[in-house]
Chains A and B, each alone.
Chain A
Amino acid sequence: GAGVSQSPSNKVTEKGKDVELRCDPISGHTALYWYRQSLGQGLEFLIYFQGNSAPDKSGLPSDRFSAERTGGSVSTLTIQRTQQEDSAVYLCASSLEGTRAYNEQFFGPGTRLTVL
C-alpha cells in the first residue's frame, strides 16, 4: 500500500508523560501536515512541512508540542508533559505540490491519543 501511514494507531498514556506520534507520507510527497480532531470538533491545523522545513507552525497549541521531519519523508509529532485536553485523534496528511494548482491532501488513518 502506498498510502499515508501513522503509528501507533492507538496510544494511551498518563498525564505528564511524553508521547511521539509518527507519520510516513506517500513517497515523493513534498508537503506534510499535522491536524488534530477532537470529539465533536473539526480538523484543527497544527503544522505544515515543505520538505524538512516548517513554514507554518501557527497551529501548535503550546510549546509542549513540537514536530520534525527528516529526509523530506517521515515526520514525528512530539507532545511533552501530556494533558487530558491533548486527547484527540491526530491526523497526518501529505500532498504532492507543484504539479497541480489545487491541494489534494491524502490522509492517514490517524493516531487516537488518550491521556488519562
Chain B
Amino acid sequence: GEDVEQSLFLSVREGDSSVINCTYTDSSSTYLYWYKQEPGAGLQLLTYIFSNMDMKQDQRLTVLLNKKDKHLSLRIADTQTGDSAIYFCAETGAGNNRKLIWGLGTSLAVNP
C-alpha cells in the first residue's frame, strides 16, 4: 500500500544545515511536498517538487529527489531557531493528485 516514512526527530545547532529525509512507496506520485507545522499554528506548504525533477532550490531550502530509490530530502541551510517545527513529507496518492499521503513528521529542534 501507499506509505511515507520519516525519521521522527532531528536536533541541530543554530547555523548548521539540517537534512530531513523521507521515503515513499508510490512510484506514480507526480508531486511530493514538504509542509511545516509550527507550534500553535496550522500546517503550511513549505515547498514541493515535481517528480521529473531531481533538485529544487528555494533560498535556504534545497529539495533532492531520488526517484529510483523513492527518497526525498529537505535541506535547510543556516538553520535558525525559528526553523524549529515539525516537517511533514507528503506524496500524491496513486492515480489521484488530490489525496495526499503523509509521513508522521520530523520534529526539528534547533539549539542555540
Which residues on A are within 8 Å of B, measured CB to CB? 3-4, 31, 33, 35, 40-45, 48, 50, 56, 91, 93, 95, 97, 101-110
Residues in B neighbouring A50, C-beta threshold 8 A: 98
Least Cβ distance of B65 to chain A in Å?
14
Question: Does A103 contact B98, Cβ atoms closer than 8 Å?
Answer: yes
CA distance A48 to B96 in the complex (A): 11
Query: Assuming A43-B88, A56-B96, is B102 touching A105 (CB within 8 A)?
Result: no
Which residues on B are within 8 Å of A, measured CB to CB? 4, 30-31, 33, 41-45, 48, 50, 88, 90, 92, 96-105
Cβ-neighbour of A107 out of B4, B43, B97, B105 (below 8 A): B43
Cβ-neighbour of B105 out of A42, A101, A109 (below 8 A): A42
The residue among A3, A45, A103 with the most chain B CB atoms within 10 A of its own CB is A103
Question: Does B98 contact A43, Cβ atoms closer than 8 Å?
Answer: no
Question: Does B98 contact A48, Cβ atoms closer than 8 Å?
Answer: yes
Q: Which 3 A-B pairs have the closest CB atoms?
A: A42-B104, A43-B102, A107-B43
Residues in A neighbouring B105, C-beta threshold 8 A: 42
Question: Does A42 contact B102, Cβ atoms closer than 8 Å?
Answer: yes
Question: Does A42 contact B48, Cβ atoms closer than 8 Å?
Answer: no
**Secondary structure at chain B's binding surface: helix, strand, loop or mixed?**
strand
CA distance A107 to B23 in the complex (A): 23
Closest B residue by C-beta to A92: B42
Sample 30 A-B pairs with CB under 8 A, ordered by A number.
Answer: A3-B42, A4-B42, A33-B98, A33-B99, A35-B102, A40-B104, A42-B4, A42-B88, A42-B102, A42-B103, A43-B88, A43-B100, A43-B102, A45-B99, A45-B100, A45-B101, A48-B98, A48-B99, A50-B98, A56-B96, A56-B99, A91-B42, A91-B43, A101-B30, A101-B50, A102-B31, A102-B33, A104-B45, A105-B100, A108-B42
Least Cβ distance of B5 to chain A in Å?
10
CA distance A45 to B92 in the complex (A): 12
Closest B residue by C-beta to A93: B43
Least Cβ distance of B96 to chain A in Å?
7
CA distance A93 to B35 in the complex (A): 13
Least Cβ distance of B25 to chain A in Å?
14
